[in-house]
A and B are shown apart, each in its own frame.
Chain A
Amino acid sequence: MKWIDEFRNPHLAQALLTQIRERAGQPIRLMEFCGGHTHAILRFGIRTLLPSALEMASGPGCPVCVTSSTDLDRAIAMARIPGAILTTFGDMVRVPGNHGSLQSARAEGADVRIVYSPRDAVRLAQKTPDRPVIFLGVGFETTAPGVAASILEAHEQHLDNYFVYSLHKLTPPAMRAILDAGEVKLSGILGPGHVTTVIGTEPWKSLSAQYHIPIAVAGFEPLDILRAVSMLVDQIHQNQVRVDNAYSRSVHAEGNTTARTIMNRVFEVCDAEWRGMGMIPQSGMIPRNEYAAFDASKAFETTVKPVSEPSGCRCGEVLRGILLPTQCPLFRRTCDPDNPVGPCMVSAEGACAAYYQFGDQPRED
């Protein structure tokens, strides 16, 4: 088992496509929650192979994209604290806030460093005991357990200069917000494979039952995605509603209980602001009181002016699945990966970046 090649077998993909084409009679619109799915769908040309009756809408599953510009401005303000080192994942550095980006703050002298893991930020805090090291934590349930583990590690080592600015977000509340808003009519949802590896299928089962919508949890290789689409088309065809698991080599019903225990030990749920979607109740994660000493938002007072989104940027509608990136008037004209106006063009998981990189592909049929 090589774990990747087998799940890219073109003959099996063709068989799945035949099955999808046979059963997708009525118009169907599926949302892939996860930005990783959007990229895989475009990268492997899956969009061109699906029947034209079947539409794929991209969802809000890009953590960088849904970070509000006010929260980003706060992170930039933290980076400018004299002596502080602000660490984060690569994608975050280029996202434009209301007053520049972390990258432009760095050009002006702020110490902003890209790390691969929050563990690297803990090591940096060990090496620089006289400087505060702030980790800007962005990501869903896939990322939050590791960041929680980094706080526990810093706690065990009695580090007093490691801080996390937690902008972590929970996926089911965002999916509920999209379904509640009803702006986009969906026939089914392609569930996020790596989030579900951690949270398990239960949260999706209650969501599927409540909103009466089919869900299939998918991995990120072409066969994973096609199999999940095929399962959704079958459910719709047979008028059934359930949660199918098309990623059983990684996703178990109960999820990763160790990861969840660590995440819930360190973080508690709070309201959070999502770019393009506004405030969503109980959709964010901040350190519990017991770990408040590691909470950068408590340790460092920052004042930022509330401001509006960049003029003309329609990332919000892209994130809610009501606009294709190519329908945004800025796409390719004034907004491209070298000069991104909004976060969806920056992130490796952003829908605009995916459409820019792989093109808006015409259907085969």
Chain B
Amino acid sequence: MKMCLAVPVLIRSIDGSNAVVDLGGVSRTISLTLTPEAKTGDYVLIHAGYAIGVLDESEAKETLDLLNQMMTLDEKGQPSKESDST
């Protein structure tokens, strides 16, 4: 148990405030009490049996796009500048 570590898992199904998730090929029931907005098909971060956040796919893609752009610029030998996504 790594206390501040949380892992991304896929929600397979939801029953009330519980969800069945796929954790490394093993099905596990977790609580959605802290993330009532989570839906089937979402990826959530689980920590000590509770989902603590729903992962945002568009933000993930945007981060990867930014990094890819930066790498392309670097390869061309142009000054690269990472934009602030705060």
Contact = CB atoms under 8 A, between A and B. Distances in A.
B4 A35 contact: yes
Interface in A101-122: 114, 116-120
A259 interface: yes
A16 interface: yes
B85 A245 contact: yes
Nearest to A253: B86
A47 interface: no
A140 interface: yes
Nearest to B28: A116
Interface string B1-20: 11111101000000000000
Interface residues of B, number: 39
B45 A19 contact: no
Contact of A195 (B4, B50, B62, B70): B4
Interface string A54-74: 000000011110000000000
Contact of A140 (B3, B31, B50): B3
Contact of B71 (A7, A15, A118, A259): A15
A3 B86 CA distance: 20
Contacts of B49: 116-120, 146
A231 B52 contact: no
Contacts of B85: 244-246, 248
A34 B14 CA distance: 32
Interface in B51-66: 52-53, 55-57, 59-64
A12 interface: yes
Contacts, number: 165
B27 interface: no
Given A142-B4, A231-B82, A248 B63 contact: yes
Contacts of B82: 19, 227, 230-231, 234
Contacts of A281: none
A143 interface: yes
A274 interface: no
Given A3-B55, A140-B4, A143-B3, A244 B84 contact: yes
Contacts of A98: none
B34 A146 contact: yes
Contacts of B35: 256, 258-259
Given A197-B52, A248-B85, A146 B47 contact: yes
Interface in A248-266: 248-250, 252, 256, 258-259, 262
A129 interface: no
Given A1-B60, A244-B84, A250-B53, A11 B71 contact: yes
Given A19-B70, A89-B48, A139 B4 contact: yes
A118 B48 CA distance: 7
B55 A227 contact: no
Interface string A9-44: 101101110110000000000000011100100000
Interface in B18-43: 31, 33-36, 43
A142 B6 contact: yes
A249 B59 contact: yes
A294 interface: no
A345 to B, nearest CB: 15
Contacts of B64: 6-7, 12
A192 B4 contact: yes
14 contacts: A3-B60, A11-B71, A15-B80, A19-B80, A89-B48, A117-B31, A117-B49, A119-B50, A194-B6, A198-B52, A227-B67, A248-B56, A248-B59, A250-B45
A348 interface: yes
